[in-house]
Chains A and B, each alone.
Chain A
Amino acid sequence: DSGVTQTPKHLITATGQRVTLRCSPRSGDLSVYWYQQSLDQGLQFLIQYYNGEERAKGNILERFSAQQFPDLHSELNLSSLELGDSALYFCASSPSGRGNYGYTFGSGTRLTVV
């Protein structure tokens, strides 16, 4: 157990639907990062939050959004889902906004859009 908790582990949904993925960072970590892993795109950085504020954006689609709550857990919202959104979504956390101590990844949420 890495200390980063992601729920649900698996999600199957239909095109056009909306889903929410949840992440609880490791205790004491203030930064949360979301990544998407797919066969064709590999691992891609989506977005980072630090202590409740958006810190950086990567290759995140406009249909996707995220937030970090006061208790530091984060949610990634995916809407108007398309078949191509099927992927493994990882959350990672770090103590600060810098990578001095590395990044700890959760076990991921496997999203299947049918």
Chain B
Amino acid sequence: ELKVEQNPLFLSMQEGKNYTIYCNYSTTSDRLYWYRQDPGKSLESLFVLLSNGAVKQEGRLMASLDTKARLSTLHITAAVHDLSATYFCAVDNSGGGADGLTFGKGTHLIIQP
């Protein structure tokens, strides 16, 4: 059974600081996704990582994937308050998308002025 672990589960940080969220998964997969969720809202797709070594950046967020280590990271640079949200990583169960996604528990991020 595929397990996806995120850490930390809760993160309070100050504006302007850098931090990294980690996502480990238990079985072979080369497809990993990062989503953002605001309270009571839907899941917004941030990054789709489809191969080993994939690195994608959007604004202050950068995500990477190491399939050999079964690890993805979401790095936040010079955090701003608007990035406060819950961030989820998710892994394709079969590597082919046919069995849905297994999600981590989410990282609840609060960025304080």
- Chain A at the B interface: SS class: strand
Are B101 and A100 in touch, CB under 8 angstroms?
A: no
**Total number of A-B contacts with CB less than 8 angstroms?**
71
Q: Which of B70-106 contact A (CB under 8 A)?
A: 88, 90, 92-93, 96-106
Q: Which of A48, A56, A99 contacts B48 (CB 8 A)?
A: A99
Please, how many residues of chain B have a CB less than 8 angstroms from a CB on the other chain?
26
Q: Which of A1-34 contact B (CB under 8 A)?
A: 2, 31, 33
Taking residues whose C-beta sits less than 8 angstroms from the other chain, chain A's interface range is: 20 to 34
Q: Which of B33, B88, B100, B102 contacts A33 (CB 8 A)?
A: B100
Q: Which of B40, B97, B105, B106 contacts A94 (CB 8 A)?
A: B97
Are A56 and B42 in touch, CB under 8 angstroms?
A: no
- Inter-chain contacts of B48 with A (CB < 8 A): 99-102
- Inter-chain contacts of B97 with A (CB < 8 A): 31, 94, 96-100
A106 to B45, CA, bound (A): 11
Are A100 and B99 in touch, CB under 8 angstroms?
A: no
5 closest Cβ pairs, A-B complex: A45-B100, A99-B97, A98-B97, A43-B103, A105-B43
Q: List 10 A-B contacts (CB under 8 A).
A: A35-B100, A35-B101, A42-B104, A44-B103, A45-B99, A45-B102, A46-B100, A48-B100, A99-B101, A102-B45
Q: Give me the interface of B with A, judged by CB distance under 8 Å.
A: 31, 33, 35, 40-45, 48, 50, 88, 90, 92-93, 96-106
